[in-house]
């Protein structure tokens, strides 16, 4: 089951917002939070497919959001590690 562009935007928004709450930072702003969520979906999908769980598009909306949040948390952690930014 694939997701359309509207679903990807919703997944990105939700994943970016949730990541901001999980990582206890000020966030990156509305647009950047959405981009972090979308890139997190790519990272999470890559990881889940390599773990044999299937890519992000092969799950329902809720599981896709969970995978995207995991990827976005990893991305945010890596960016903060490189830049030294706390939030």
pLDDT tier at 3, thresholds 50, 70, 90: low
Q: pLDDT digit string (tens) for 34-81?
A: 788 888 888 888 888 888 877 666 778 888 888 888 888 888 888 888
Q: What is the pTM of this model?
A: 0.78
Range of the domain at 40: 5-83
Number of compact structural domains in the chain: 1
Distance of CA 9 to the CA centre of its chain: 11
**Least confidently predicted of 2-6, 20-24, 39-43:** 2-6
Nearest 10 degrees: CA dihedral of 27, 30, 36, 39? 170
């Amino acid at each position: 089951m694939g997701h359309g562009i509207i679903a990807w935007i919703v997944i990105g928004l939700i994943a970016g917002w949730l990541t901001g709450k999980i990582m206890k930072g000020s966030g990156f702003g509305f647009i950047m939070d959405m981009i972090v969520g979308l890139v997190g979906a790519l990272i999470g999908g890559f990881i889940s497919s390599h773990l044999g769980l299937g890519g992000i598009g092969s799950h329902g909306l809720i599981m896709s959001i969970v995978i995207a949040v995991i990827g976005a948390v990893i991305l945010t952690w890596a960016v903060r590690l490189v830049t030294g930014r706390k939030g």
